[in-house]
Amino acid sequence: MRNQAIRNIAIIAHVDHGKTTLVDAMFKQSGLFRENQEVEDRLMDSMDLERERGITIAAKNCSVAWGGVKINILDTPGHADFGGEVERALSMVDGAILLVDASEGPLPQTRFVLKKTLEAGHRVIVVINKIDRKDARPQEVVNEVYDLFIELDATDEQLEFPLLYAVGRDGVAMRDLDDPRVDLTPLFETIIEKIHAPLHDEGEPFQMLVSDLGYSEFLGRLAIGKVFHGRVTSGERLICVGEGGQRKPLRVSRLQTYEGIRLADAATAEPGDIVVLSGIEDVHIGDTITVEDGGKALPRITVDDPTVFMKFSINTSPLAGREGKQLTSSKLRERLVRESLANVSIRVEEAEGRDSFLVKGRGEFQMAILVETMRREGFELTVGRPEVIFKTDEQGKKLEPIERLYVNCGEEFTGTVTEKLSQRKGRLVNLVNHGNGRVRLEFNVPSRGLIGYRDEFLTDTKGTGIMTSYFEGYGEFRGDFPTRFTGSLVADRSGQGVAYALFNLEPRGRLFVVPNDPVYEGMIVGEHNRESDLDVNPCKEKKLTNMRASGKDENVILTNVTPMTLERAINFIRDDELVEVTPSSIRLRKAELSQIKRHSLRAARKKES
């Protein structure tokens, strides 16, 4: 049977194609708010980082009502690094709305999220958004979408997708381009007509798949998921079936469902609804909550394996403990384990070194977001350079993750971009000249070749280039290549930066510190303009004499220093360097702080080679 009173849909798209803005408009037109009520834009992007960066990081649940039908909506991230969030969201829905920009057309993350949706067997409604753009080309984009569906082996039913045109910012949708632009009624009607109502078996007992976890200071751990069969009431005794069939008893202390963006208490939950249960602490994503007698486990959520890892350690610099509150390895372990429980694409392992952990995920951007989140929570930690996870095939060949990279840039930058990516073992597979002074390049490149390349790419294209990529699979190892052609300027003592010393260091390279910044032995204070590292004294003061000069001393004027960002720091460091992260500062340092020990290690390596 199908529960016709409910529809569950996910909104999927490439980054910045308008998912969250469209959801805002759906809220306003479904009568969720009063006419005179002030409402913020991008309501679903509730995290500070999401609002600052203008992207969705975590999938969010909400609901609207239309024509007596409850529509549960999941707003998903568009960035491939957060693909685990997309897969988690797709386990709770029966269909999806694919948003495609009327100018840009399908882009790499469009392919990524659509592939996951089609593999899950869901029906898709295609919405060509932003048709009000001056450079909009809706008919061409529709043809590109059809080509993408065919390329991704969509079924005949999936190929017969409903098509709408929209301006999400204005809250309008049309079935044809010539239709009047009134409101989102065509979209709501299409969802109810074309997306299947959730299917359930009346003879089966209650079954719910845990697809997300939450936490409440009052209720403890919250299990979030879709009810596949049966009904549940508050206070009922159930069991949680974990990995390996382990069964843990629980009592539903509170049952909640989504009303708009808020949770509301419910006495009972129907099949197909997305609910929040409290009353069990030891629960994981993929577990099944069911009845004590005769309850069976549902298939667990499966996600793609991680492709990148980073080493997380406690802060061991001389400045440790000055700026943060969370300092110990136990706190660091607890926080990382909590992240792995709530994020299906993150895995945490103990590292060889003391007080260190290996965190595995989908990409360097996902790692940077995790570090930035922890930093804002008061943690002090050090992180290493992102490294890719290698594999070995049956013949013993070394394999590495390969990405499909799309570059859109001006014609004059084509040579530079191609040369730089070739150095990083990238291979050009396609080139399209749009005839408007811009070209689209398509590369097949190792994932490790893209680590640290984004800043270099923006510099090479003078900030006008756009690059996006998605994970294509594992391929044969393509050999080593240099990650950086410059060395580091390393402080040889502790103290504070002095203007006179920094002024005299400027010819040696690009500085990262300003006068009065605290420095310590082993801290990286700049980028050397040669390939080797150089130990320097940034604390040296001008010697004073009792001789009067005939003229005034010249004022020291230093070059402006660009503040170090987390992504820039992670991209800059080499394998023997770390990023020290605190709530107030981002510093670069050598893994081995002692100058003498570094020289000894370097000499030992030379002997071995």
Binding residues: 16-21, 129-132
Binding residues for GTP: 16-21, 129-132
Give me 452's structure tokens: 């640290």
DSSP 307-325: -EEEEEEE--STTTTSS-S
- Residue-wise burial string across 71-83, b where 16 or more C-beta atoms lie within 10 A, e elsewhere: bbbbbbbbbbbbb
Give me 299's structure tokens: 């298939």
- Judge contact between 365 and 372, C-beta under 8 A: no
- Judge contact between 118 and 219, C-beta under 8 A: no
CA distance 267 to 235: 9
Short-list 82, 74, 145, CA closest to 114: 145
Give me 87's structure tokens: 């897969």
Angle at 310 between CA 117 and CA 494, to 5 degrees: 145
- 8-state DSSP, 204: S
- Judge contact between 221 and 213, C-beta under 8 A: yes
Short-list 455, 381, 460, 387, CA closest to 418: 460
- Residue-wise burial string across 336-353, b where 16 or more C-beta atoms lie within 10 A, e elsewhere: beebbbbbbbbbbeebee
